[in-house]
Amino acid sequence: MQIKLSKSYGFCFGVKRAIKIAEKSPDAITSGPLIHNTQEINRLKSEFNVSTAHNINEIKNKNKVIIRTHGIPKQDLKELQDNNAQVTDATCPYVTKPQQICEDMSKKGYQIIVFGDIAHPEVKSVMSYSTTKPVVVTNTKELENQYIKSRVAIVSQTTKKHEDFSKVVTYLTRKCKEVRVFNTICNATFDNQDAVYDLSLEADVMIIIGGKNSSNTKQLHSISRDNCPDSYHIESPDEIEKEWFSDKKLCGVSAGASTPEWIIQNIVNKIKEI
Amino acid sequence: MQIKLSKSYGFCFGVKRAIKIAEKSPDAITSGPLIHNTQEINRLKSEFNVSTAHNINEIKNKNKVIIRTHGIPKQDLKELQDNNAQVTDATCPYVTKPQQICEDMSKKGYQIIVFGDIAHPEVKSVMSYSTTKPVVVTNTKELENQYIKSRVAIVSQTTKKHEDFSKVVTYLTRKCKEVRVFNTICNATFDNQDAVYDLSLEADVMIIIGGKNSSNTKQLHSISRDNCPDSYHIESPDEIEKEWFSDKKLCGVSAGASTPEWIIQNIVNKIKEI
């Protein structure tokens, strides 16, 4: 069986930047998981003593604080910046962008629509910048129960699928007089998605590597599964099962934006052994 | 065979308004056909001596001028207003809207995309308001050969299908950072289209009445044909053919926004005779 890596996969700009920040801030504490990858977070803990707080109260008044890539609510950030000695903002610039758009557009009187998962930390941080209550949806069905104004602005969670985003946009353009569409899906997401789409068309088994709570990895898995039903989303080599590869000719491999290269290599080696 | 009229059809607000203006301006001359319906234009000529100019030069320095529902290029309008005694603007307010948007958005630095037929008088009038050269397309294919900026504003010809408009919007949202979508498809168009969609699902023959050069009538015909292959676009009773109705149970009837009620009645009567 041949193993083929996706043309674009793994660490994106924002994740690389955040890890560099963490490595340069030994003993710091992060506001929630820095990225959605447990193994890499464990590595930062063991090599640089960078720990993870799961509650904003845990980091108040701490010496060195790092803001996670997904950002945190505006009020929390302000409070930390006012009270903590050293706050380093590792919010991905691709997330800062929709935060600013929400603030700007809501001030200009547009109703804010956030296309994303309301429980996702990035969405929580983005929506907090709207000066009016935003509408957060993942599909058109959820829009049907909402009061939609005639002038709206929409941003997307950076890791969503464009196909789903455009369905919501289409629904809004039918309902509203003006829709300001800000495509805030990040380029790395686009590139990884396009590449996994192509690879899953030719492969007969696909391994998608990334945190189980990683939104962008879940999207990659969903795209892959549409073309190649034998697509598996795994986090570590232990999850691999031998029978996935029996009678297969081409195994495609891709990884989410928060998956470090060393995990990908471990998994590729494990597949090679099989 | 039963005959059923569509729930919404025929004269829209803008056409009704223009005809009232024409009827109150005997002996006036219009800048091109006032509406896209030859029969109604003939009636205005014979009853009110309102005539049609086919070239802007014909109406320069004329006494009473009426601007057609579709509008005319900005420069032409200005010239007429500067030099003619009495210019009455019968441009549909739903067309004035995209004109203003093009002007405003181009001044704000957005590249203007007009979704519409470049040969249609409405599109010619709308695009003339952009202070920069707009891109005019009817589908995504035509966009592929164009240089598209990262910030664009899009308007639609008022009589287009939303389904086609949203395909172009989807393409743009993938390419651009910001897309300002102005849904300028008019409500009458929406209502007539929705109603013809429903009716063509139950009818086994559909008669769509309206000028052969009427964009909105062509759209109604296209929607109807998708659901009911035996859909005919006609302008006058003479075009009706007996065999269209043999073995049919339900004949649906709809009409474009520039089709007067008296033509619709003539046609319904002719079908009843059959």
Q: What pLDDT, on a 0 to 100 scale, did the predictor assign at position B63?
A: 85
Q: What is the pLDDT of residues B117-143, one digit of tens each?
A: 999 999 999 999 999 999 999 999 999
Interface test with B, best of A102, A166, A190 (most B CBs within 10 A): A166
**Given CB atoms, is B183 within the 8 Å cutoff of chain A?**
yes
Q: What is the pLDDT of residues B175-223, one digit of tens each?
A: 999 999 999 999 888 889 999 999 999 999 999 999 998 889 999 999 9
Are B183 and A169 a contacting pair at CB < 8 A? Answer: no
Are B169 and A174 a contacting pair at CB < 8 A? Answer: no
Task: Collect the ranges in chain A with pLDDT lower than 70.
Answer: none
* Chain B residues with CB-CB distance to A178 below 8 A: 180-183
Are B177 and A183 a contacting pair at CB < 8 A? Answer: yes
- Model pTM? 0.83
H helix runs in chain B, sequence order: 13-23, 38-48, 56-59, 74-83, 93-107, 121-127, 140-144, 162-175, 187-202, 215-227, 261-273
Are A183 and B180 a contacting pair at CB < 8 A? Answer: no
Q: What percent of chain B has pLDDT over 70?
A: 100
Q: What pLDDT, on a 0 to 100 scale, did the predictor assign at position B58?
A: 87
Are A169 and B181 a contacting pair at CB < 8 A? Answer: yes
Q: What pLDDT, on a 0 to 100 scale, did the predictor assign at position B170?
A: 96
Are A177 and B170 a contacting pair at CB < 8 A? Answer: no
Q: What pLDDT, on a 0 to 100 scale, did the predictor assign at position A56?
A: 86
Q: What is the pLDDT of residues B79-118, one digit of tens each?
A: 998 888 799 999 999 999 999 999 999 999 999 999 999 9
**Given CB atoms, is B140 within the 8 Å cutoff of chain A?**
no
Are B166 and A162 a contacting pair at CB < 8 A? Answer: no
DSSP secondary structure string for all residues of chain A = -EEEE-SS-S--HHHHHHHHHHHTSTT-EEES-SSS-HHHHHHHHHHH--EEESSHHHHTT-SEEEE-TT---HHHHHHHHHH-SEEEE---HHHHHHHHHHHHHHHTTPEEEEES-TTSHHHHHHHTT-SSPPEEESSHHHHHTS---SEEEEEE-TTS-HHHHHHHHHHHHHH-SEEEEE----HHHHHHHHHHHHHHHH-SEEEEES-TT-HHHHHHHHHHHHH-S-EEEESSGGG--GGGGTT-SEEEEEE-TT--HHHHHHHHHHHHH-
**Given CB atoms, is A108 within the 8 Å cutoff of chain B?**
no
Q: What pLDDT, on a 0 to 100 scale, did the predictor assign at position A124?
A: 97
Are A166 and B169 a contacting pair at CB < 8 A? Answer: yes
Closest chain B C-alpha to A165 CA, distance in angstroms: 9
**Given CB atoms, is A53 within the 8 Å cutoff of chain B?**
no
* Chain A residues with CB-CB distance to B182 below 8 A: 177-178
Closest chain A C-alpha to B37 CA, distance in angstroms: 28
**Given CB atoms, is B181 within the 8 Å cutoff of chain A?**
yes
For B181, which of A162, A165, A181 is closest by C-beta distance?
A181
Q: What is the pLDDT of residues A235-265, one digit of tens each?
A: 999 999 999 999 999 999 999 998 999 999 9
Nearest chain A residue to B175 by CA distance is A183
Nearest chain A residue to B170 by CA distance is A166
Selected residue with higher pLDDT from A85 and B263: B263
Q: What pLDDT, on a 0 to 100 scale, did the predictor assign at position A274?
A: 87
**Given CB atoms, is A162 within the 8 Å cutoff of chain B?**
yes
**Given CB atoms, is A17 within the 8 Å cutoff of chain B?**
no
**Given CB atoms, is A180 within the 8 Å cutoff of chain B?**
yes
The catalytic residue positions of A are 122
Q: Give the residue-averaged pLDDT of B65-84.
A: 93
